[in-house]
Amino acid sequence: MATATVNSTVRQQPVAGPKISPARSFTLHLWCFVLPLVNMAFLLTGPHLWWVALLWIAPIVVLVMVDNRAPNDKRQPVPTANWPFDLQVYLLTAIQVANHGLLGFMAMKISIWPLSDLGTAAANLVPVAVLCGTTAGYSGIVVAHEWIHRRKKHQFFLGRLLLAMVLYEHFSTEHIRGHHPRIGTAGDPATARFGETLRQFFLRTVPAQFKSAWRLEKVRNDLDGVSALSPKWLRHRVLQGVIGQVLLLVAFTYFFGFVALFFFLIQARGAITLLETVNYIEHWGLTRVGNRVTAEDSWDTDNWFTLHTLVGLSRHADHHAQASRPYHQLRCFEQSPKMPRGYYGTIVMALMNNRGYMEAATKELRDRKLGPFREELASPPPPPSPAAIGAGSAPENAPGLAAS
């Protein structure tokens, strides 16, 4: 028992190294504004000629290339006032809400008839899916993730609002009260299992997270056996989210038209895909041992560019160690498994070369003796063969996934 306690404590120690000043940290986090402002420029100047529209995919390509070449940054934060960094998150929220409105205004100018206009509409749809969807995922959902972990009611509401704008409001319930307590166990639908492909994970996690969030709210409000007509159901946050999202779609269609509605749905789909891909790479194959969450239960990256463009999302291990810690105070842990690239590059790898991603992740887990290879497990399984990895072998029966 004493040994287990010592090992757990060691795993929780952040990297001892140089510090970053609050002023320097604040300045570097201004990189968070690049993508939403590029997206805003696209919407303000649209709709575009077909060849111009396609050029707006280039910023995403550039961000991935820069992220792939960015150095590591293991500097630790020092205590500082939160309000300057909170101001950044408030501004990112305002820009993202404005971008949703601008999407409607741009889309209402697009015609799909006569057929000669259809090609221009389709060309503009491509950057909406790639650029707007990516922005809604990174600047929308990532910012929402920061807000829903805050203690003030209005901040939590802002997080729910941003999530509703990509039709994923239930994430505010499931992430806080489902994912965080159950991380790394078979009971967590947001933890990708060893050997599970991204497609398998997506098909499993999306409905499972909604069902879990619905059940959590049903229990919280003591709604078992309560009539569906009872006003008590109005306290059910997931139901509130569903109603709010339906009303949002109706209003968006009323003010901007059916083409705008289609564009809105496309960007929401892109954002959800990015969110669940992030969930996939943040916990793939990891198995928690015991009740305490350690730095070894989440994938990290020390990538400088990821850290300062994604509101501190890359320091995910410390986020799970203390979920209420604001993004600019998150610490670097050496003990956490490291992604093969920064978030941008790892996401692209998981989406476009899923087999290659799983092979790299399996090697990292084996080298660090984590996931199914943990020394604490009685009999770690052999690494999967390349053929098994390519087929996404039996995630439901992957060893080492019993609930803690």
Provide DSSP, 164-183: HTTT-TTHHHHIIIIIHHHT
Instruction: Provide, for the chain, the percentages of residues in helix, strand and coil under a 3-state DSSP scheme, each rounded to the nearest 5.
Output: 65, 0, 35
Output the CA–CA distances (angstroms, integers) from residue 382 to 182, 221, 373, in the order listed: 25, 45, 8
Neighbours of 375 (CB within 10 A): 9
pLDDT of residue 395: 31
Whether the CB-CB separation of 93 and 348 falls below 8 Å is answered with: no
Let me know if residue 16 belongs to a domain: no
- Closest listed residue to residue 137, CA positions, set 109, 165, 111: 165
List of long-range contacts for 206-211, beta carbons under 8 Å, 24+ apart = 206/272, 206/276, 209/170, 209/171, 209/174, 209/178, 210/170, 210/174, 210/238
Domain that holds residue 110: 23-223+230-397
Let me know if residue 44 belongs to a domain: yes
Listed in sequence order, the residues at least 6 apart from 213 whose beta carbon sits closer than 8 Å to its beta carbon are 170, 171, 173, 174, 178, 238
Residue type, 107: A
Residue type, 238: V
Secondary structure element (H or E) that encloses residue 110, with its range: none
- Closest listed residue to residue 354, CA positions, set 304, 268, 292, 284: 284
Distance of alpha carbon 110 from alpha carbon 100, whole angstroms: 16
Let me know if residue 15 belongs to a domain: no
Let me know if residue 3 belongs to a domain: no
Distance of alpha carbon 42 from alpha carbon 36, whole angstroms: 10
Neighbours of 91 (CB within 10 A): 14
Let me know if residue 10 belongs to a domain: no
pLDDT of residue 393: 33
Count: domains in the chain: 1
Let me know if residue 17 belongs to a domain: no
pLDDT of residue 12: 65
Let me know if residue 329 belongs to a domain: yes
Distance of alpha carbon 387 from alpha carbon 369, whole angstroms: 22
Per-block mean pLDDT, blocks of 10 residues, the chain (404 long):
33 75 96 98 96 96 97 94 96 98 96 84 96 96 97 96 98 97 95 97 98 97 93 96 98 96 97 98 93 91 96 93 92 93 97 97 96 70 41 31 27
Let me know if residue 258 belongs to a domain: yes
Distance of alpha carbon 39 from alpha carbon 80, whole angstroms: 31
